[in-house]
Chain A
Amino acid sequence: MSSSSADKPSVIKARAGLFWLQKTETVQDEEVDGEYGLVINGHSLAFALEKDLQLELLRTASAHIGVGISGQEGMQAVLSSDFSFAQFRYLQRLLLVHGRWSYLRMCKFLQYFFYKNFTFTFVHFWYAFFCGFSAQTVYDEWFITLYNLMYTALPVLGLSIFDQDVNDRWSFQYPQLYTPGQLNQYFSKKAFVRCMMKSCYSSLILFFIPWAAMHDTVRDDGKDIADYQSFALLAQTCLLIVMSIQLSLDTHYWTAVNQFFVWGSLAGYFAITFTMYSNGMFLIFTSAFPFIGTARNSLNQPNVWLTIFLTSLLCILPVVAFRFILIQLRPTINDKVRHKMRKEALPAPTKPVRVKRISTRRSGYAFSHSQGYGDLVTSRKFLLKIPVRTRPALFTETDSPLAQNQPQHYRTITEEPEGSQSP
């Protein structure tokens, strides 16, 4: 997922060929002018080509991801690369499925993580105006300790491990889904600022609604409820519920593990809170658990729960409405494919086609100590002379009628008369 340059690539096509270089290389069909440098074996390829392209390649090879093919020529590429696999066709899966999912998960994780921590912190900022700027925390100290450690750790872990927007087969069907990663759309400076604004809004709601609801009010038996400990409990419960619902909105792929993590964390919060605020813990560790009785005395009040309900929905409903309207007005490729996914059946899996290879003929070399046989490789003199007709395509095309406007090109190694290759 290279985002090194901000220029839009002029050609956005899924290409999988033998090698695919950043600078223009005149190949059989047309000029490749893409953003990616996939270097199979950095050193040998650098030697194989002209000197002035070497630097470009080496920069590319060391910049983002390096992919190596392990094979009979040796493991040199594997050792110096980030990902390695045995067959070239796996590259498609690496990019279109795993790479894409990885980008998606990473961006969702980052956005959610920044959101939850900024909100948590901004609430303290607003409280400063009401506590004499004394840095009094709104929340219980134990909550602050356990917030990132326990209450929100597992759900976001579940999101980052399991989330998928579309199936892997649909990912093959629509390589255009790869575009947001190329364009750096999901998490950029603009996205970060939007996240901050959302945090600001949420923190205003999460502080001022409890503030207004608790101002000068009492329990239904006349006793105190506007005390610091009850207010802290109310604010922290609101915060955690809002964060859990926000994570639920972000999660597109609810496995059983996700369900368990999210609801389990919320249940765990209540269990731990009631335990910490119980008589037993106070009697054993008196000065560590001063909040005794707070949960029992405030969470049985209807106005507390009504405040929690109001706060949660006021934080979440704008997000839901905004996302819905955005899907209607400006659907992204993701939205369209997901919409289609609900309607249609899965496309057939692409069957790996066995390529008959004769062991004496090779198509790749890995020498790094000398100039190497780059010229020989790129001239394709040594390739098998098989008529084109009977030679099966290396990659199956899955051009469905629906994808006509974005044709998918797969370069096949075809036989060419000699001398047509230009470096």
Chain B
Amino acid sequence: MVKEEQELANRPDNTAFTQQRLPAWQPMLSAGIVIPGFVIIGLAFIGIGVALFVTSHSIQVLELDYTGVENTEPCYRCSDPSSKNCVCTLEFSIDSLFEGPVFFYYGLTNYFQNYRKYGASRDDNQLSGDLDYFKSPGNDCAPYQYNSNNKPIVPCGAIANSMFNDTFKLYQIIRGSKKLVPFDGKGIAWWTDYNIKYRNPSVTPLKNAFNDTVKPLFWSKPAYELDPTDPANNGFINQDFLVWMRRAALPDFRKLYRRITEGDYAKGLPAGNYSLEIAYNYPVMSFDGRKKVVLSNVSWMGGKNEFLGIAYLVIGSLCVVMSIVMLIVYAKFKFPEED
């Protein structure tokens, strides 16, 4: 009797969980699911691909490389490293209305903003306005942390130090005279960057917060003079600064500079001759980089990107082809019912 009780006590539970009898769905790759599935996916992909391709085709893009490599180019004399405060002018023409709103980007190639140590070289605490980090910037910023006199650099780090500083002015040439195309520089950076991630120290005037600090080595003006006319665009929340600090993923990238949405150009850039005046400050020749200016309009899928549309079309067609192949295989080689 005792032994029986012992045996029963040792017996494992007879529940569905412990005996692995849980109710379950046991799907199988059957022809009824796979082949129609492929057909539907293929057709859906082709549909999406057509939409993407058509949209992408309707986006207009104009790229102008102004590095000045060849001596025939307008900015050749500016690309000389010894020239300072050089201004060069690029002439171009537009054939048909460039529909608005037009976005003005600057682009760089062979520029590795995604380099690991470069990307780590910043101090987010400093950039969110914490004055403690004005006195002692984080160690990740080295060697752009303190200058040779041991004064803290604000904003510290390699990303801030290498901020893009070319400026552009666009003129339309109407009957021989230049008409300035107005640029809109508000809200070109992400809302979260402008409002939350980057904050100026709450010291007025802003200049006082930067006492006993120095500007980054490559900058011509300190942070509190990035836009003296507009306090909402000065200091760390300067839109150009924010756009630059959002480092790119790939070595060829473009960053938003301005928008053309106002005045006579609200509908877009009309056809005609244009002249772009560039204050050429940023040196890229030393690492074989290139600078360019890109004019583009956007759509629901963003900027012009042929790849997505073509990829969807190709994959959709492949899916349909595969479904036909699988149908043939299934019809011919269906394995016999018997074991």
Query: Which residues of A are at the interface with B, using a C-beta cutoff of 8 A?
Result: 86, 101, 130-132, 134-137, 162, 164, 168, 174, 209, 211-232, 252-258, 279, 282-283, 286-287, 290, 292-293, 296-297, 301-303, 306-307, 310, 313-314, 317, 320-321, 323-325, 327-329, 331, 335-342, 402-403, 405
Contacts and interface: CB of A to CB of B under 8 A. Distances in A.
Contact of B190 (A223, A226, A286): A223
Contacts of B107: 216
B116 A136 contact: yes
Given A227-B246, A257-B22, A297 B192 contact: yes
16 contacts: A137-B116, A168-B20, A214-B250, A218-B296, A222-B303, A223-B256, A227-B249, A252-B26, A252-B27, A252-B28, A254-B27, A306-B48, A310-B311, A336-B339, A339-B335, A342-B28
Given A215-B307, A216-B305, 20 more contacts: A130-B114, A134-B114, A136-B116, A174-B339, A212-B311, A215-B252, A218-B302, A221-B298, A223-B190, A227-B247, A255-B23, A279-B196, A293-B192, A297-B190, A303-B308, A306-B308, A328-B330, A329-B329, A338-B26, A402-B339
A329 B332 CA distance: 9
Interface string B299-339: 11111110110011001000100100110011001110011
Nearest to A231: B249
Given A314-B315, A325-B329, A224 B255 contact: yes
Contact of B338 (A230, A252, A306, A402): A402
Contact of B125 (A227, A279, A286, A317): A286
Contacts of A231: 249-250
B311 A303 contact: no
B23 to A, nearest CB: 7
Given A222-B103, A222-B256, A325 B22 contact: no
Contact of B34 (A101, A257, A324): A324
Interface centre among A211, A212, A338, by most B CB within 10 Å? A212
Nearest to A135: B116
Interface of B: 7, 20, 22-29, 31, 34, 37-38, 41, 45, 48, 52, 101, 103, 105, 107, 112-119, 123-125, 128, 130, 138, 188-193, 196-197, 243, 246-256, 259, 296, 298-305, 307-308, 311-312, 315, 319, 322, 325-326, 329-330, 333-335, 338-339
Contacts of B335: 327-328, 331, 335-336, 339
Q: List the 7 closest pairs (A to B, CB-CB), nearest first.
A: A293-B192, A231-B249, A134-B116, A136-B116, A218-B303, A222-B103, A254-B25
A317 B25 contact: no
Contacts of B113: 228
B256 A218 contact: yes
A391 B105 CA distance: 93
Contact of A220 (B7, B34, B41, B301): B301
Given A217-B303, A220-B302, A224-B255, A162 B125 contact: no
Contacts of A307: 308
A107 to B, nearest CB: 18
Contact of B112 (A132, A215, A253, A340): A132
